[in-house]
Amino acid sequence: MTAQTLSQSLLPGEDLLDIDPNPQTAGRQARPLRFITCGSVDDGKSTLIGRLLWDTKAVKEDQAAALRRDSTGKQNELGLPDFALLLDGLQAEREQGITIDVAYRYFATDRRSFIVADTPGHVQYTRNMATGASTADLAVLLVDARSGILEQTRRHATIAAMMGIRQFVLAVNKIDLSNYDEAGFQTIARAFREIALSLGVRQVTAIPVSALKGENIVMRGDELMPWYSGPTLVEVLEKATQRTGQTTGFRLPVQRVSRPGEGFRGYQGTVAGGSIKPGDSVVVLPSGVEANVKAIVTYDLVRNAAVHGDAITLVLDRPVDVARGDMIAAIDQRPMTGRAFTARLVALSPDGVVPGKRYWLKAGSRRQRVLLRPTSQLDLSTGNWDDANFLPVNGIGVVELDFEDVAVFDSYETNRDTGAFILIDPETLNTVAGGMIDGKRSKSGRFDALPDADRATVTLPARLLEAFLKTEFARAHAGEIKVTGPEEVEGE
Amino acid sequence: MNVIEHGRGKPPLDPHLKALENEAIHIFREVAAEFERPVMLYSIGKDSSVLLHLALKAFHPGKLPFPLVHIDTGWKFPEMIAFRDQVVARHGLDLIAHTNPDGLRDNVTPFSHGSARYTDIMKTQALKQALDMGRYDAAFGGARRDEEASRAKERIYSFRTSDHAWDPRNQRPELWSIYNGMIHPGESVRAFPLSNWTEVDIWRYIQAEKIELVPLYFAERRKVLERDGMLIAAGDPRIALLPGEQVREEMVRFRTLGCIPLTGGVRSTATTLDEVIAELEIATVSERQGRAIDRDQAGSMEKKKREGYF
């Protein structure tokens, strides 16, 4: 078994962007790929990232010299500097020898450039991992070839999947210390695939690597691993897909209204879903007023189209009331509007998330008051969702949101930009949680992302039903599936 | 109102630069909308030039909804000041140049006070004075995360206390592209639209967008003297030659621009943008090597930032 990629099929909203065979413009033909690395303390994560930077020549001579100066006697046996020192930028970290925050690293190959969110592996830093994962399209999970999958690996995979990452790379590191044992590697890879599938992640690539020796990171490790013919880590990264936000219709959260002079009124923002062209009909939410697009203005050109990610100024064909915080959306593919939603939340602040407190919620450019009530918390060691009414720091939970004014969202599953939010404590003004919308609640409290007719039906025997409903997969897809026991099916 | 199109006939940006540009514009608009008194720190260098270009794009067809502040230590290259004044005139910008009056009075120079104290008084303290005088609650800067180790953990909205201090352990988490712009009176943020750009990105963008730069970035025969392993521009009468030093002419360019005595040039034959980029892509020395202040002590930049340096 050497083809390590389980599924190359693209998920909805994803697009294989790279490598245009006939480039029309100079430079790189893809957006930077953002990915996250996660591993336990001793898996060699710093060495892996250091190796990526070193072998792609992102470490400059003077930085290397400073490293050698700092790490007296701490060079490894290959005469390379101690990579951890390159990465742990803050003095507090150097003193304690641990990584305490998310750091961003940059490197590039001829084909693509990369932004790595380097996050700590300690369990108490779930919040940092969630932060790094929020913008990532891919997660590299590290395990030690000698110890295999740990509880920590499962935790990291769970958080990454929940934050919307749909591509995993399992880097089985220190393969040299396992005597390049193929059978051991395959066992670990199989176990990990099972975890990934249980989280709804189908794109999994497992790679045997030695970060220290640089095998299968940038350079191949064929000599000692003739049994592995899959891609190197960098090859997987170069070919990874990016979300393009096309699964929802056009979305423009309005950041500001531009009125520079008589006769011009434009709505400035970044397209958060779909695409738009002059003449298209749009609706302003939450007011519901309708209009048509007259022009798409940018500094360079008055454009004939704009797509997800473009920062534009939109001009409408009639005077309508639009303010910062409003959303301009496709008239025929509207987001959800309402006062009651269900979401998953990661608590980031030492105070946790308290029921009945009125927080500020910011989503896109919109900020509004919200009351929230935690209903369950994810137990990362079992993967079960247990009843809860409070979320401690680093806790992941399901909450019910109740707004004073109408809120506008897509589900996070369909659109990461318009389905995400942060919570701000009204007194400290700190960011205390990150949240992902699952769906809208109706008056009866029933969960309501898709109408029943559009949901896939999953039928399970009663003994499995309860356990399934507690899984991350069931949570993540709650709006898309309808779970029934066998009796109901028989009755239909 | 007729909308001007600045990019007619220009080839489109590659997707990589386009994504970086979009992100920066988004940050500019968000800060301008959420804060009451934003300001942009303008240092005249290449990153500032890119920053200004992106700001013009973000608010087009309107004008910049904030002023620019330039911290003038009195030791900047004359070419920099001339360039600054041209740019201000061309775009009709509102620029405030500020020099620390205490430092001026006490005649603080890199020679009399050493580079560390000089930088603190003429840059860090001067910056705090300028921000306090304008009661600015948000200041855009051109810092990039790839510049230096402690910058790698910098947020896009970098939260500062009322003393302008940066506490690396007390930064707000930043998820997705949702920025928390809520602050108490007296507190402020530094906002960094170029956080995710690398040095190569900056140069490629300058090339693609035809952004004008101070000529010091291109190699020319210049009078230099060698001090502490750095090639320093000679000619300013305030820079006295030390025993054994001599002024000579060499083909030199500058990778970053700061105060004359603290900015080292590199030997180079790159006289055009293409040549500079070609040199950069095979360069094995990072750009901050030319900055004396980073070498003062280990963790030097982190320390300065805690004290309020940009």
What are the domain boundaries of chain A? 14-243, 251-330, 336-444, 450-492
Mind giving me the DSSP string for A167-206?
Answer: EEEEEEE-GGGGTT-HHHHHHHHHHHHHHHHHTT--EEEE
> Crossing angle for the helix pair B46-59 and B15-34, nearest 10 degrees?
70
> Alpha helices of B93-136 — where are they, by DSSP H?
101-105, 110-119, 126-134
Number of Cβ within a 10 Å radius of residue A247: 18
Q: By the 8 A CB rule, do A257 and A268 touch? A: yes
Number of Cβ within a 10 Å radius of residue B227: 16
CA dihedral A58, A59, A62, A67 (to 10 degrees): 160
- Which of A68, A106, A127, A265 best probes binding to B when mutated, by most B CB atoms within 10 angstroms? A106
Q: By the 8 A CB rule, do B61 and B32 touch? A: no
Chain B residue numbers with beta carbons less than 8 Å from the beta carbon of A103 are 152-153
Q: Which candidate, A348, A343, A362, A365, places its Cα nearest to that of A413?
A: A343
pLDDT in tens, B181-232: 999 999 999 999 999 999 889 999 999 999 999 999 999 999 999 988 889 9
Question: Sorting pLDDT into bands at 50, 70 and 90, what band is B39?
Answer: very high
Tell me how far CA of residue A218 lies from CA of A189, A401, A439, in angstroms.
20, 46, 42
Number of Cβ within a 10 Å radius of residue B129: 17
Rounded CA separation B179/A364 (Å): 9
Nearest residue of chain A to residue B281 (CA atoms): A57
Inter-chain touch A300–B7, beta carbons under 8 Å? yes
> Crossing angle for the helix pair A126-134 and A151-162, nearest 10 degrees?
40
Rounded CA separation A363/A418 (Å): 7
Q: Which candidate, B140, B158, B31, B178, places its Cα nearest to that of A131?
A: B178
Task: Please give the CATH architecture assigned to the domain spanning A251-330.
Answer: Beta Barrel (2.40)
| Residue B143, pLDDT score | 92
Taking CA A215 as the corner, what is the angle to CA A125 and CA A109, rounded to the nearest 5 degrees? 80
Compare B287 and A387 and report the one with higher pLDDT. A387
Inter-chain touch B168–A92, beta carbons under 8 Å? yes
Residue A489 in tokens: 């099916």
Q: Is the peptide bond before B61 cis (omega within 30 degrees of 0)?
A: yes
| Residue A68, pLDDT score | 60
A143 exposure class (CB count in 10 Å sphere: 0-12, 13-18, 19+): buried
Taking CA A150 as the corner, what is the angle to CA A144 and CA A152, rounded to the nearest 5 degrees? 105
Domain A336-444 in this protein, CATH class: mainly beta
Task: Round to the nearest angstrom and report the end-to-end CA distance of chain B.
Answer: 39
Q: Where are the domains of chain B?
A: 15-204+300-306, 213-293
Task: Round to the nearest angstrom and report the end-to-end CA distance of chain A.
Answer: 44
Q: By the 8 A CB rule, do A421 and A343 touch? A: yes
Residue A490 in tokens: 């028989």
Residue A476 in tokens: 């993540």
CA A407 from centroid of its chain's CA atoms:
23
Q: Which candidate, B71, B115, B142, places its Cα nearest to that of B290?
A: B115
CB interface of A with B, residues 432-471, below 8 Å: 434
Rounded CA separation A186/A208 (Å): 9
Within this chain, domains A14-243 and A251-330 share the same CATH topology: no
The DSSP H or E segment spanning A313 is strand A311-316
CA A219 from centroid of its chain's CA atoms:
28
- Residues whose CB is less than 8 angstroms from the CB of residue A198 and which lie 6 or more positions away in sequence, other chains included: A383, A471, A472, A473
Q: By the 8 A CB rule, do A118 and A132 touch? A: yes
- Which of B2, B3, B59 best probes binding to A when mutated, by most A CB atoms within 10 angstroms? B3
Residue A275 in tokens: 């695409």
What amino acid occupies position A14?
E
| Residue B309, pLDDT score | 61
Q: Which candidate, B239, B291, B229, B267, places its Cα nearest to that of B45?
A: B291
Specify the length of chain A in residues: 492
- Which of A300, A312, A415 best probes binding to B when mutated, by most B CB atoms within 10 angstroms? A300
The domain B15-204+300-306: what is its CATH number?
Answer: 3.40.50.620
Specify the length of chain B in residues: 310
CB interface of A with B, residues 203-232, below 8 Å: none
Closest chain A C-alpha to B130 CA, distance in angstroms: 26
Rounded CA separation B290/B224 (Å): 14
Is residue A61 less than 8 Å (CB to CB) from chain B? Answer: yes
CB-CB: which of B57, B195, B204 is closest to A27? B204
Inter-chain touch A91–B302, beta carbons under 8 Å? yes
CB-CB: which of B6, B21, B30 is closest to A255? B30
Rounded CA separation B29/B59 (Å): 7
| Residue A4, pLDDT score | 37
A286 exposure class (CB count in 10 Å sphere: 0-12, 13-18, 19+): middle
Rounded CA separation B303/A38 (Å): 29
Rounded CA separation A210/A48 (Å): 8
User: How confident is the model over B116-136, as a mean pLDDT?
Assistant: 94
Domain A14-243 in this protein, CATH class: alpha beta
Give bridge partners of residue A456 from the DSSP assignment: A481
Mean per-residue pLDDT over chain B, rounded: 89
Q: By the 8 A CB rule, do A369 and A386 touch? A: no
A1 exposure class (CB count in 10 Å sphere: 0-12, 13-18, 19+): exposed
pLDDT tens digits for chain A (492 residues)?
Answer: 333 333 333 333 333 333 333 333 335 678 899 999 988 767 788 888 888 988 887 776 656 666 665 555 444 555 566 666 666 555 555 555 444 578 888 898 888 999 999 887 665 668 888 889 999 999 999 999 999 998 888 888 998 999 999 999 999 999 999 999 999 999 999 999 999 999 999 999 999 999 988 999 999 988 899 999 999 999 999 999 887 655 789 999 999 999 998 789 999 999 999 999 999 999 999 999 999 999 999 999 999 999 999 999 999 999 999 999 999 999 999 999 999 999 999 998 888 999 989 999 999 999 999 999 999 999 887 888 999 999 998 899 999 999 999 999 999 999 999 999 999 999 999 999 999 999 998 755 445 555 556 667 777 777 777 777 666 667 656 666 776 666 544 333
Chain B residue numbers with beta carbons less than 8 Å from the beta carbon of A261 are 1, 61
CA dihedral B259, B261, B266, B272 (to 10 degrees): 40
CB interface of A with B, residues 343-362, below 8 Å: 348, 360, 362
HEC profile for A387-439?
Answer: ECCCECCCCEEEEEEEEEEEEEECCCCCCCCCCEEEEECCCCCCEEEEEEEEE
Q: By the 8 A CB rule, do A269 and A260 touch? A: no
Task: Output DSSP code: residue B288.
Answer: G
What amino acid occupies position B305?
K
> Crossing angle for the helix pair B199-209 and B273-281, nearest 10 degrees?
160
Inter-chain touch A434–B177, beta carbons under 8 Å? no
Q: Residue B149: is its pLDDT beyond 80?
A: no
Q: Is the peptide bond before A21 cis (omega within 30 degrees of 0)?
A: no
Is residue A86 less than 8 Å (CB to CB) from chain B? Answer: yes
Residue B309, helix vs strand vs coil: coil
User: How confident is the model over B39-61, as a mean pLDDT?
Assistant: 97
